Structure 1
Amino acid sequence: MEGVGVDAGSAVAPFAKWRDEFSRTFQYYLDRSTPNPVHRWLGTLAVAAIYVLRVFYVQGFYIVSYGLGIYILNLLIGFLSPKVDPELEALDGASLPTRGSDEFKPFIRRLPEFKFWYSITKAFCVAFLMTFFSIFDVPVFWPILLCYWIVLFVLTMKRQILHMIKYKYIPFSIGKQRYTGKKPATSSGGSD
């Protein structure tokens, strides 16, 4: 009886060890990719291109693509929204300034850029894997789905942009602002 438990435990141990090694290695490369946003997004663009080529090649899986589009739209809204919505609640010191005389507070996203990238990349990978199973290839008239998604995108972005204008926040920064001192007054003192 004791030998049976040992064999079952020894069969699980290599799998658990492999899973831990894989998890550690994956986390290592994920951590190394953090300071390289351009490379990360180029990789995601490559994964998206492979997915699009797969869908184009098999001429199907439009429901999967529609679901992927809705999921990405949901992620985009989280990426463009502030962590604390000024309409719903005002926290001490973490809310966006609403007047010009308010103190500057940095824009904190509800969904950080790294999580946004990681979620989109995972979504494209899962959608790509779904294209290998015919159960997900539901026959639909794809132009209707595309039109509906475009209408949904336009209405959602319109609402988000109006929210940005109302509360005066821009979710993108082009870099650190540089302030210059007063320019010295130049005298146009030519020799007359």
Structure 2
Amino acid sequence: MEQNKEWVFAQGAKIHNTYQRYMDIATPHTVYRWAATYVLMFLFALRIILCEGWYIVCYTWAIYLLNMLLQFLTPKFDPSLEQEYENESVEEGTSKMDERDEEFRPFIRRLPEFRFWIKSTNATIIALFCSFFGIFDVPVFWPILVIYFVILFTLTMRRQIQHMIKYRYLPFDIGKARYNHK
């Protein structure tokens, strides 16, 4: 009995090490990782369209991805909370900075890109897996789900963009200065 337990733990460690090795290999290849995830997403969407079912699985998957996207676009340290803290300290007379002082703060995401990729890929694989079982094919009127998701996406992204404009941060490298090494 004890030998079986050791063998199971050894096999689990072997699987974990193999998984970690492949993750370490995939880490620097951002474009290829996301291309593979988009292929999985395309296959899932194709399955949903061709089978004409599993709309609730697709909707749940889309809501989860929207949540991950919002975490990806949001800074780790929320500037609105920091501003509230600074306003309280100004009222108490302990603030050391005034509004003209702006220090450089790098953009640190609440959800890093690699974790976003891992979670998106896992969610797509799970959703694709669920689409092979009839128990998850709950009958719903799919146009309502699509309309509701579009409204939800529009409202949340509008709020996120307003937050980005108000606190002057850009979560992407587009338009930022790059300096070449000589």
Q: Which residue of 1 aligns with 2:161?
A: 161
SS of equivalent residue, structure 1 residue 156: helix
Write the deviation string for residues 138-182 of structure 1: whole angstroms up to 9, x where unpaired.
000000000000000000000000000000110001386247xxx
Q: Which residue of 1 aligns with 2:114?
A: 114
Counterparts of residues 138-149 of structure 1 (less than 5 Å): 138-149=138-149
Q: How many residues align?
A: 168
Return the TM-score normalized by structure 1.
Answer: 0.80
Name stretches of at least 5 consecutive residues in structure 2 with no aligned partner: 87-97
Larger Cα Rg: Structure 1 or Structure 2? 1
User: Counterpart of 1:136 in structure 2: which amino acid?
Assistant: F
- Give the stretch that moved more between structures: 143-152 or 126-135: 126-135
* TM superposition shift of 1:101: 4.5
Name stretches of at least 5 consecutive residues in structure 1 with no aligned partner: 1-7, 93-97, 180-192
Q: Which residue of 2 aligns with 1:25?
A: 18
CA RMSD in angstroms, aligned pairs only = 2.3
Return the TM-score normalized by structure 2.
Answer: 0.84
Greater RCO (CA < 8 Å, at least 6 residues apart)? 2
Q: Which residue of 2 aligns with 1:126?
A: 126
In structure 2, distance between residues paired with 1:112 and 1:131? 28
In structure 2, distance between residues paired with 1:161 and 1:62? 29
User: Counterpart of 1:158 in structure 2: which amino acid?
Assistant: R
* TM superposition shift of 1:114: 0.5
* TM superposition shift of 1:18: 2.0
Q: After TM superposition, what 4+ stretches of structure 1 lie above 6 angstroms from structure 2?
A: none
Change (3 A) 1:21 1:175: farther
* TM superposition shift of 1:46: 1.1
Among 64, 76, 81, the residue aligned to 1:88: 81
Change (3 A) 1:142 1:100: farther
